[in-house]
Copies of this chain bind each other. A is one copy, B any other.
Amino acid sequence: MRFLLTNDDGIYAKGLSALYKELSKEADCLIVAPEIEQSAVGHAITISRPLMVRRATKNDVFLGYAVCGTPADCVKIGITELSGKPFDMVISGINRGGNAGINVLYSGTVSAATEGAILGVPSMAVSLDTHKEADFTYAAKFARKMSRLILRHPGQFKGSAINVNIPFIPREKIKGVVVVRQAQSNIVETFEKRIDPRENIYYWFAGESQAARKQKDTDVGALSSGYITVTPIQYDLTRYDLLDALKSVVKQNNF
């Protein structure tokens, strides 16, 4: 077994280290991760400038490849150029901060897994729902278990990324594992307007995901209720339910 590990918090992040430690028991793991933090970069890729790749070390031992790019870049170059051997799975994380609801679209962690799926490798994103310093041990153990389950059905999960969120509560308080849809709740959008030392106005995005907490069949709702959430993610963004309506709108008109 060979796994590609990446993240969006950067190659030296604790969550990635915990993931590596645990998944190395399961597979030969290669880390290809961003040189610096890339949170909220979504599915950005780097096309206008080159990608520098550095052999990163930790205590003088090879840690992995540090890429001056986005999580999606790391997956692309990891699979296409740096590995030499095919991967059985791409695992992205463990992210510091949940990636549920609309945040899935902004998440570099999830986009890395989506990129793996696009490239035909079963993929998974794993996030721990806290922005504080945290212990990732349990989340890593869960990631290992999920990876085994997914790899037992490689045909079924080819072309799909699995988005996993783990609540930041004591292990014994976790209520279970649920498979749920992505919440479509709006983030409550606010910007803080501030004045810089030179009296220029600037803005800081302060949006918070707050709605849909009560929808238990969604990732946002179940996660906030103490469940580990599992959501399959696609990369076909077509809104199929609107195709026919649009067709009739376009048909009625001569262009």
Contact = CB atoms under 8 A, between A and B. Distances in A.
Contact of A43 (B106, B204, B239): B106
A13 interface: no
B51 A203 contact: yes
Interface centre among A45, A181, A202 (most CB of B within 10 A): A45
Given A118-B186, A246-B232, A104 B48 contact: no
Contacts of A48: 37, 39-40
A240 B231 CA distance: 9
A50 B41 CA distance: 15
B50 A194 contact: yes
Interface stretch (A14-22, A23-31, A56-64, A156-164): A156-164
Interface string A63-102: 0000000001100110111000000000000000000001
Contacts of A118: 102, 105, 186-187
Contacts of A79: 189
Nearest to A182: B238
Given A249-B149, A250-B179, A44 B46 contact: no
A76 B189 contact: yes
A234 interface: yes
A221 interface: no
A173 interface: no
A212 interface: no
A173 B44 CA distance: 34
Given A41-B42, A232-B239, 15 more contacts: A41-B41, A44-B106, A51-B204, A52-B202, A73-B205, A76-B205, A81-B203, A105-B235, A118-B186, A149-B250, A153-B245, A181-B238, A182-B236, A231-B238, A232-B243
